[in-house]
């Protein structure tokens, strides 16, 4: 199967919202008046972002999910995406599985595949997403103010826990491993929450590299500091609930490592004024995802991570290098 047959068979589909999709030299988008385009790219490289033997449908899902997560962080509604794909060989079953996982998530979000590029090479997937947001309403990293609450959506740390288990660093009960692996391989982009937080959150981003490091981006962009409650964040790991025997639990060190510095969570971390607590919870209910208050923005620069006793937590959980310049 040649390059063009492959594109036609797996990636060429009718478009409904875009003005022109796959098949010409450019795709065409027709933004609505008063809207801004939100654009983001994310690349997934074999060996770096996923294992070679990962289920292709899960990989297709994740490749788009991490991009939709960026739109969610900005409060943008997904419109369309392009797919640049390097494949070592044409394995029709593999590409079919990949396309199925990719396009199922695309359809769930009304996000159309409008173009891309296909080449032979080491497996590499680069997606660019296009979303829309009313002019001036995008959620940015720079709006956090002293006194604001800090929140995280959903769960934190399960993806990292799965990775630790797959690398043989920790043994998990089967059910916990499966749940954690699902979070690693099939993250849920919080698109509805991002939309619901427009006009409520003062700043937002998606947690891709680990909570404390990513939160550092908000603090730096906003020129503020924060205190984070590690007791609260340690509750957000979902897999722990699946430990059934009383003497099997996660070591606290691993728990903090996963929830504070884990990465691959694709949850939203955001800030909002304390006066908007009810509005935040209403947005969360509307979006169908829980949000948890995990800290407070402060004027004093730097990130202070506190344990349940109000004592500072060891620096290794906190990616403190990220904050050297605050």
List residues binding ligand ADP (CB under 6 A). 7, 11, 22-25, 83, 85, 113, 115-118
Taking a C-beta distance cutoff of 8 angstroms, is the pair 44, 66 a contact? Answer: yes
- Segment contacting Mg ion by CB under 5 A, of 20-28, 104-112, 130-138, 287-295: 20-28
Dist CA 161 CA 167 (whole Å): 10
Q: How near is the Cβ of 24 to ligand ADP at its closest, in Å? A: 5
The alpha carbon of residue 172 and the mean position of all alpha carbons in its chain are separated, in whole angstroms, by 24
Spatial distance between the Cα atoms of 155 and 259, rounded to a whole number of angstroms: 9
Q: Which residue has the tokens 């849920």?
A: 188
d(CA 205, CA 187): 15
Shortest Cβ 84–Mg ion spacing (Å): 13
Residue 270's binding partner, choosing from Mg ion, ligand ADP, none, with beta-carbon cut-off 5 to 8 A by kind? none
In the complex with ligand ADP, the residue whose CB is nearer, 25 or 278, is 25
Q: Which does 115 bind (CB under 5 to 8 A by kind): Mg ion, ligand ADP, none?
A: ligand ADP
- Token pair 């800090």 is found at 150
Among residues 257, 178, 206, the alpha carbon closest in space to that of 72 is found at 206
In terms of CB distance, is 22 or 272 closer to ligand ADP?
22
Phi-psi region of 115 (alpha: psi -120 to 50; beta: other; left: phi over 0): left
CB closer to ligand ADP out of 78 and 116: 116
Contact between 25 and Mg ion (CB under 5 A)? yes
DSSP string of 196-242, one letter each residue:
HTTTT-SEEEEESS-HHHHHHHHHHHHT-EEEEEHHHHHTT-SGGGG
Residue 223 binds what, of ligand ADP, Mg ion, none (CB under 5 to 8 Å, by partner type)?
none
- Binds 83, which of ligand ADP, Mg ion, none (CB < 5 to 8 A, cut-off by type)? ligand ADP
Q: Which does 7 bind (CB under 5 to 8 A by kind): Mg ion, ligand ADP, none?
A: ligand ADP
| Nearer residue to ligand ADP within complex by CB, 40 or 296 | 40
Looking at the Cβ atoms of 3 and 175, the one nearer to Mg ion is 3
Give the interface segment with Mg ion, choosing from 22-30, 38-46, 177-185, 208-216 (CB under 5 A): 22-30
Q: Specify the stretch interacting with Mg ion by CB under 5 A; choose among 23-31, 70-78, 116-124, 170-178.
A: 23-31
Return the one option of ligand ADP, Mg ion, none that residue 118 interacts with (CB less than 5 to 8 A, by type): ligand ADP
Cα gap 184→168, rounded to integer Å: 16
What is the full DSSP assignment across 261-313?
H-----EEEEEE-GGGHHHHHHHHHHHT--EEEEEEEESSSEEEEE-TTSPBP
Which residue, 6 or 313, is less far from ligand ADP as judged by CB?
Answer: 6
**For residues 5 and 117, which CB has a smaller minimum distance to Mg ion in the complex?**
117
> Could you tell me the smallest distance in angstroms from the CB atom of residue 125 to ligand ADP?
9
Partner interacting with residue 85 (select from Mg ion, ligand ADP, none; CB below 5-8 Å by kind): ligand ADP
Q: Would you list the DSSP string of 15-37?
A: -SSSSB-BTBSS-B--PPTTEEE
Which residues form the interface with Mg ion (CB under 5 A)? 25
């Amino acid at each position: 199967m040649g390059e063009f047959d492959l594109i036609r068979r797996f990636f060429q589909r009718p478009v409904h919202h875009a003005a022109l999709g796959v098949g010409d030299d450019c795709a065409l988008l027709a933004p609505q008046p008063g809207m801004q385009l939100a654009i983001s790219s994310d690349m997934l490289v074999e060996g770096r972002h996923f294992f070679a033997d990962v289920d292709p449908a899960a990989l297709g899902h994740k490749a788009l999910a991490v991009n939709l997560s960026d739109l969610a962080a900005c409060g943008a509604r997904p419109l369309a995406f392009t797919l640049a794909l390097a494949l070592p060989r044409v394995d029709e079953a593999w590409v079919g599985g990949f396309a199925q996982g990719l396009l199922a998530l695309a359809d769930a979000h009304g996000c159309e595949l409008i173009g891309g590029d296909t080449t032979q090479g080491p497996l590499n997937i680069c997606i660019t997403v296009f979303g829309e947001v009313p002019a001036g309403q995008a959620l940015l990293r720079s709006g956090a103010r002293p006194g604001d609450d800090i929140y995280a959506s959903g769960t934190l740390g399960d993806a990292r826990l799965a990775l630790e288990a797959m690398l043989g660093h920790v043994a998990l009960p089967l059910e916990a491993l499966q749940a954690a692996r699902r979070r690693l391989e099939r993250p849920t982009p919080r698109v509805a929450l991002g939309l619901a937080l427009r006009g409520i959150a003062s700043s937002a981003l998606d947690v891709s590299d680990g909570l404390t490091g990513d939160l550092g981006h908000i603090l730096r962009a906003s020129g503020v500091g924060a205190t984070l409650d590690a007791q609260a964040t340690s509750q957000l790991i979902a897999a722990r609930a699946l430990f059934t025997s009383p003497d099997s639990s996660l070591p606290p060190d691993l728990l903090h490592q996963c929830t504070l510095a884990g990465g691959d969570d694709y949850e939203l971390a955001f800030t909002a004024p304390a006066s908007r607590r009810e509005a935040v919870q209403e947005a969360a209910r509307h979006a169908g995802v829980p949000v948890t208050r995990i800290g407070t923005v402060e004027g004093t620069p730097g990130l202070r991570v506190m344990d349940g006793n109000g004592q500072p937590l060891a620096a290794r959980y906190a990616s403190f290098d990220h904050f050297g310049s605050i």
